[in-house]
């Protein structure tokens, strides 16, 4: 008897079922292992998105330093940007002062937007990529941008914070 094209017999069905199920399990396991490795690797590298602060903790007009991530977050009204606070000379953590940034190690002075005011540092401070998700500001510490990437955002007025 000629077998219809779309029909399979029981034996074939069984083997194919086992095959596909096996492949599925294998694929899922591999994906899970990969995901685990990936997230573990991310935890120890800077090249990942870090939830830095809830948006409502950022004062409307402010530069809020985050020493643990070596960055400062700018907020000017509805604009938000993240600047690196690592000196471009030898990598010390910069102080946030009234008119910009100051390096306690060798006295480099940076302007409010990271421009070099006085040496020994020669390059302006780099910026980081920044996004807003689930009410938080996320910063990607792995990216270094020459130009600020401003995140425009509509938010409500928050409380006053200061460096810890």
Partner 1 sequence: MTNHKDLSWLNLLLLVATFLTLSLVVGSAYHGWEEDRALHHSEPGGHSGIIADITINLSGIPHQEHCLTCHPQGRNVKVSGRDLVLQKGHPPISPHSIDDLGCTACHLGEGMARDLVISHGRLGNEARKVLGGQEMQASCYRCHELKPLPGAEKAWEGFQVFSANACDTCHNVDGLAGGRYGPDLSEIGSFLGLKQIQKAIEDPKADPENSIMPRFSLSPEQIQAIAYFLKSRMRESLHETPMIKRVKMKEQARLRERGSEKVPDVGKAILQEKKCLSCHKFGKEDGQIAPDLTYMAFMRGEDYIRTFLYSPGKEIPGAVMPWIRMTQEEEKRVVRSLQEKGREGHLHGISAKHLYMMHCQRCHAAQGDGLGTIQPNLANFPRAFWKNQEFFRRIPDERIVKSIEKGIPGTSMPPYGELLGHETVDSLIHLIFREFIRIDRKEKGSDLIVPPRPAEMLPRDKTEKDFGKHCSSCHGVAGSGKGPEYLKYLPRPRDLTNRPYFKSIMDDRITLAISDGVAGTGMGPFRDKIPPESIWSLVKKIRELSGTDGKATKSN
Q: Give yes or no for a contact between 135 and 57, defined as CB atoms under 8 angstroms apart.
A: no
CB 38, min distance to partner 1, A: 20
Token pair 């940034």: residue = 101
CB 14, min distance to partner 1, A: 49
Between 58 and 151, CB nearer to partner 1? 58
Between 77 and 111, CB nearer to partner 1? 111
Provide the binding-site residues for partner 1, judged by CB under 8 A: 65, 67, 92-93, 95, 97-99, 104-107, 109, 111, 117-119, 162-164
Between 29 and 45, CB nearer to partner 1? 45
Burial annotation 16-52 (CB, 10 A radius, 16+ → b, else e): eeeeeeeeeeeeeeeeeeeeeeeeeeeeeeeebebeb
CB 119, min distance to partner 1, A: 7
CB 73, min distance to partner 1, A: 15
Between 75 and 85, CB nearer to partner 1? 85
Phi, psi angles (nearest 5°) of residue 160: -85, 135
User: 131: how many CB neighbours lie within 10 A of its CB?
Assistant: 15
């Amino acid at each position: 008897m000629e077998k219809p094209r779309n029909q399979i017999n029981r034996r074939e069905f069984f083997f194919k079922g086992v095959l596909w199920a096996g492949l599925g399990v294998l694929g899922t396991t591999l994906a899970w292992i990969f995901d685990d490795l990936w997230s573990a690797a991310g935890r120890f590298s800077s090249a990942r998105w870090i939830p830095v602060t809830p948006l409502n903790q950022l004062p409307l007009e402010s530069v809020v330093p985050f020493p643990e991530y070596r960055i400062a977050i700018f907020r000017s009204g509805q604009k938000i940007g993240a600047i690196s606070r690592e000196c471009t000379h030898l990598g010390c953590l910069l102080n946030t002062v009234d008119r910009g940034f100051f390096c306690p190690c060798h006295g480099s002075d940076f302007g409010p937007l990271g421009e070099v005011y006085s040496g020994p540092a020669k390059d302006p401070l780099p910026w980081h990529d920044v996004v807003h998700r689930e009410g938080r500001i996320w910063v990607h510490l792995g990216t270094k941008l020459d130009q600020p990437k401003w995140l425009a955002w509509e938010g409500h007025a928050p409380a006053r914070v200061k460096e810890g």
